[in-house]
Amino acid sequence: MISKTAIGYLVEKLGAENVASEKEDLLVLGYDSTPGVHHLPEVAVYPTTREGVLAAMDIARREGLPIVPRGSGTGLSGGSVPVKGGMVMCLNRMNRILEIDEENLTATCEAGVITLDLFNATAAKGLFYPPDPGSQKISTLGGNVMEDAGGLRGLKYGVTRDYVMALQCVLPDGSLLNTGGKSVKDVAGYAFKDLLVGSEGTLGIITEITVKLIPPPQAKRTILAYFDDIRAAGAAVSQIIAAKIIPSTMEIMDKATINCVEDYVKIGLPRAMAALLLIEVDGHPAMVEEDAQKVDVILRQVKAAQIHIAKDAEEAGKLTAARRTALSALARVSPTTLLEDATVPRSMLAETFAEIERLTAKYKLTVGTFGHAGDGNLHPTVLCDERNAEEMHRAHAFYDDLYDKVLAWGGTVSGEHGIGLAKKEYLARQIGAGGVKVMKRIKNAFDPKGILNPGKIFSDDDPGTRARV
Amino acid sequence: MSRSKEKLGNFTNLDAPEYEDVLQCMRCGFCLPTCPTFVLTGRERSSPRGRVALARAVAEQKLEFTDAVKQEAFFCLDCRACTTACPSGVKAGEVMEVCRSQSHQQAPLGHVGKSFREFILQRMLPNPGLMEKSMLPARLYQRLGIQWLVRHSKALKLGPAWMGKAEGMMPKLDAPLRPQLPVVTPAQGEQRGRVGFFLGCVMTLMYPEVSRQTVRVLAHQGFDVVTPKETKCCGAPHLSEGDRQTARELALFNLNLFMQADVDYIVTDCAGCGAALKEYEEQLEELAGHDKLASFRAKIRDISEFLGEVGLRTDRLKPVNKSVTYHEPCHLCHAQSISRQPRELLKQIPGVELREMNEASWCCGSAATWGLKFSKESEQVLDRKLNNVKETGADILVTANPGCQLQLAWGVRERDLLVEVQHIMELIGEATP
């Protein structure tokens, strides 16, 4: 239990408005978007500068409190959930965009900047920051970096990692680590930057981020294809890639997802169809024209039921916005939405859909599947009720079976959501005991006392850090 | 008349949230950037997701119904922007409205506060005649020029801050409209139907000229307009203050009154009333027949919604050569999903140039009595709105709800902005010969 004196120190260093210790504040900082996980921290701080981060860390260290960094709490693997109590460090008030460097094509900002705000600020200068996770309108850059967030444009433009050029962070012992810079090449020593990206808050607290910007595509075409059979949609994706076309976006939604999304957005999505693909090609106008035609030919070959081209940017915008609501919209039909993040080599997409169908029937579940088909990254989501223990048991069995297949096909247990609490057991299955051991040694080198975001990524035997609902 | 059921956690069993409604939130956070109080404070508990989580904690007995929960229930603007933003269909605003009722059950006000609240909600608001009489001193006060004196000497700054603002917000008051309107105003030209007009309290008392235009326009558009004299308050202030019992009594009265009138539609020019009337069906579900409620609900229209649906006859309209920007009242765009119709009407007025402002559907910070209770925060919300208004350079700032109109007109006066604030019906009224 944190002492009154320690809270007094925090207030003195950070200001009363930046320290929260009332139960009502703490209760609502103990969750993210991962179902079923909710823990109570002892204190929450809202540093507004790096000095504030250092001061809070210093006090946490003296009090022996674990520290859990938090952006907007939109994570999907429990990364910002304080499973062992302690201090939640909310970085959402460090939200200044410090510089947009048009000569070097970089942007530098504090960790709490909202992803979409950075996108808009760079777009205003004729530049483009591509990573666009589903929650971009509220997710923070710091959170994106810590989870290595993906998004709808990952297929052509890559994920957050591909844009991080430099990081400024505070290590658990209070030392500072600056890694990377604005140089496009940098092989000086170990690539700490790459280690920190996707480290889920277990190695250091990021305070400042420099990202790479690129010129935006000149033209874009948005195509919507409907299918009577979801496997045909899977085949379309594999064939488009095999035809050496790299769309910027190739997203899939199955029937359950289409219906939930349509209930919310009401833009006339086809409720009776088994699946839809949302495909965007962008780049030079001539190439866009050519790619769009080739995509059209392939869609006809695989017998898409209908092909529809967005008539303008507004319609295209509505379609991608609709896709972004998929997960939340699925929550309309059930209190609990248990989603996974399985990713397979793209040639295995059709098989993956078939496997999901088979397991859905086997375990008698309702499953909505959507995701970044072009990346082979699917989000099969079990629509269930956490109060029904027996149903939850079947849901977990469903994922156990599915991950066996995914790993056998050379896939991964997490394409973009991270391991956090939710997938600790699966990580060991993927990388083996040896892999986990090396990861733990790295963790130990950064955080020997284990105070940063404990209980994440690796499974220890502490039952308190188990994720299962 | 009560809605009591099995007790849920640490809520009382009368007017408590439904457990399913709080469980529905999957915590994606899509509501956060649309919530004015979260954007102001950056504090999770002052966000829709946080508020629903607090209600869930009370339901799951992880938390008592504490003072902080009560504070959050009242700090919520009830602007419903989160409802629009929520793909999962969570209604955080409604959950908080119910929590306001819990507040009065679980943490009653002191004697003076309680009597004052009861006097306003249970004695004044349900009684239109009494309200009209009570406004007399206010009108006299304006006539005698005391208002001018007070405003200019800043005398009221000595009192509590809210009183100064409330005084400053008061528009120029004319005699209340209710006693002046005939029960039936006959249609002009080709008759297109018969509508009941729901005249709201704030409209008759503060903006009688606006509703006079509404009735005139409806008649000019070919509708017989029936305005029942007995109409009582719609109950919105009661829901907002957490007095759900009186709200139900008023709703039942108005339901019966309008269902006896032989009208095709029930139209209102107050977004707050419209939103409340559309919720009667849910509010009275155990107190009135299902068919009657459904038929009542099917008749309710906001004036913009109505004119958009039946089509505005524009052939005889006079031009109004003005640039106009439109502020969306929360209770119209978020509570009733009406965004398109007012804009389309504005575009149909000859001579009007519609200029979109940024964040047109962002709250203005009025929100019933919120603007008086949280005057500092309300100023900040208002600043954001008026900066967006200023950027358009429009001559007229149009809205469709008296609460917004009071707040915006006050803000414009305080800041000496060169923009006139009008209700959409004043503008259509100006175009109507």
Task: Tell me whether residue A387 is in a domain.
Answer: yes
Provide mean pLDDT across the span A236-240: 94
Q: How far apart are the C-alpha atoms of B422 and A454, rounded to whole Å?
A: 57
Give the type of residue at B18: E
Neighbours of B358 (CB within 10 A): 12
CB A247 within 8 A of CB A281: yes
Task: Tell me whether residue A432 is in a domain.
Answer: no
CB B85 within 8 A of CB A324: no
**Looking at residue A347, what DSSP letter applies?**
G
Q: How many domains does chain A have?
A: 3
Provide mean pLDDT across the span A96-106: 98
Q: Are residues A274 and A390 in the same domain?
A: yes
Asked if the Cβ–Cβ distance from B29 to A22 is below 8 Å, we say no
Task: Tell me whether residue A440 is in a domain.
Answer: no
Asked if the Cβ–Cβ distance from B42 to A93 is below 8 Å, we say yes
CATH number where A60 lies: 3.30.43.10
Buried b (16+ CB within 10 A) or exposed e, A219-248: ebbbbbbbbebbbbbbbbbbbbbeeebebb
In this complex, is the C-beta atom of B5 within 8 Å of any C-beta atom belonging to chain A?
no
Q: Are residues A16 and A85 in the same domain?
A: yes
Nearest to A28 by CA among A81, A75, A95, A86: A81
Q: What is the pLDDT of residue B108?
A: 76
Residue ending a domain, among A67, A90, A113, is: A90
3-class DSSP state for residue B109?
Answer: coil
- Rg (alpha carbons) of chain B, rounded to whole number: 21
Q: How far apart are the C-alpha atoms of A84 and A440, rounded to whole Å?
A: 18
Residue A226 has pLDDT above 60, yes or no: yes
Q: Are residues A400 and A335 in the same domain?
A: yes
Instruction: Give the model's confidence band at B128: pLDDT under 50 very low, under 70 low, under 90 confident, else very high.
Output: confident
Neighbours of A449 (CB within 10 A): 12
Residue B1 has pLDDT above 50, yes or no: no
Q: What is the pLDDT of residue A469?
A: 40
Task: Tell me whether residue A335 is in a domain.
Answer: yes
Q: Are residues A149 and A235 in the same domain?
A: no
Structure confidence by residue, pLDDT tens digits, B40-71: 999 999 999 999 999 999 999 999 999 999 99
Instruction: Indicate the range of A99-113, B237-251, B294-308, B348-362 predicted with least confidence.
Output: B237-251
Task: Tell me whether residue A367 is in a domain.
Answer: yes
For B181, the enclosing helix (H) or strand (E) is: none
> What is the nearest CA distance from B99 to chain A, expressed in angstroms?
15
Task: Tell me whether residue A449 is in a domain.
Answer: no
Of B23, B32, B33, the CB nearest to A335: B23
Structure confidence by residue, pLDDT tens digits, B375-404: 899 999 999 999 999 999 999 999 999 999
Structure tokens at A259: 């219906």
Residue ending a domain, among A376, A408, A440, is: A408
Residue B2 has pLDDT above 50, yes or no: no
Of B28, B53, B72, the CB nearest to A135: B28
Q: Are residues A117 and A134 in the same domain?
A: yes
Instruction: Please tell me which residue of chain A has the smallest CA distance to B51.
Output: A28
Structure confidence by residue, pLDDT tens digits, A1-16: 789 999 999 999 999 9
Q: What is the pLDDT of residue A222?
A: 96
In this complex, is the C-beta atom of A327 within 8 Å of any C-beta atom belonging to chain B?
yes
Asked if the Cβ–Cβ distance from A33 to B29 is below 8 Å, we say yes
Instruction: Please tell me which residue of chain A has the smallest CA distance to B90.
Output: A332
Size of interface A-B (CB pairs under 8 A): 92
Q: Are residues A256 and A398 in the same domain?
A: yes
Nearest to A325 by CA among A375, A368, A261: A261
For A353, the enclosing helix (H) or strand (E) is: helix A349-362
> What is the nearest CA distance from B105 to chain A, expressed in angstroms?
20
Q: What is the pLDDT of residue B144?
A: 60
Of B32, B45, B88, the CB nearest to A331: B88
Name the pTM for this structure: 0.92
Decide which of A306 and B118 is more confident: A306
CATH number where A116 lies: 3.30.465.10
* Full domain range(s) for residue A322: 219-408
Q: Are residues A173 and A311 in the same domain?
A: no
Q: What is the pLDDT of residue B143?
A: 62
Nearest to A277 by CA among A312, A243, A238, A313: A238
Provide mean pLDDT across the span A75-97: 96
Residue B219 has pLDDT above 60, yes or no: yes
Q: Are residues A226 and A336 in the same domain?
A: yes
Q: What is the pLDDT of residue B140?
A: 62
In this complex, is the C-beta atom of B430 within 8 Å of any C-beta atom belonging to chain A?
no
Nearest to A396 by CA among A430, A425, A434: A425
Instruction: Please tell me which residue of chain B has the smallest CA distance to A78.
Output: B27
Asked if the Cβ–Cβ distance from B30 to A138 is below 8 Å, we say yes
Instruction: Give the model's confidence band at A468: pLDDT under 50 very low, under 70 low, under 90 confident, else very high.
Output: very low
Structure confidence by residue, pLDDT tens digits, B368-383: 888 888 989 999 999 9
Task: Tell me whether residue A416 is in a domain.
Answer: no
Q: How far apart are the C-alpha atoms of A68 and B388, rounded to whole Å?
A: 38
Average pLDDT, whole number, for chain B?
Answer: 91
Q: Are residues A35 and A152 in the same domain?
A: no
Residue B164 has pLDDT above 90, yes or no: no
User: B interface mutation test: which of A14, A17, A22, A27 has the most B CBs within 10 A?
Assistant: A27
Instruction: Give the model's confidence band at B150: pLDDT under 50 very low, under 70 low, under 90 confident, else very high.
Output: low
In this complex, is the C-beta atom of B375 within 8 Å of any C-beta atom belonging to chain A?
no
Contacts of B86 in chain A (CB under 8 A): 328
CB B62 within 8 A of CB B51: no
Asked if the Cβ–Cβ distance from B53 to A329 is below 8 Å, we say no
Residues 6+ apart with CB under 8 A from B118: none
CB B126 within 8 A of CB B40: no
Residue ending a domain, among A58, A90, A122, is: A90
In this complex, is the C-beta atom of B27 within 8 Å of any C-beta atom belonging to chain A?
yes
Buried b (16+ CB within 10 A) or exposed e, B284-313: beebbeeeebeebbebbbbbbbbbbebebb
Q: Are residues A251 and A389 in the same domain?
A: yes
Chain A contacts in chain B segment 282-301 (CB below 8 A)? none
What string of DSSP letters covers B224-241?
A: EEE--TT----SHHHHHH
Q: Are residues A398 and A256 in the same domain?
A: yes
Asked if the Cβ–Cβ distance from A72 to B32 is below 8 Å, we say yes
Give the type of residue at A348: M
Q: Are residues A199 and A255 in the same domain?
A: no
Provide mean pLDDT across the span B420-429: 97
Task: Tell me whether residue A430 is in a domain.
Answer: no
- Rg (alpha carbons) of chain A, rounded to whole number: 22
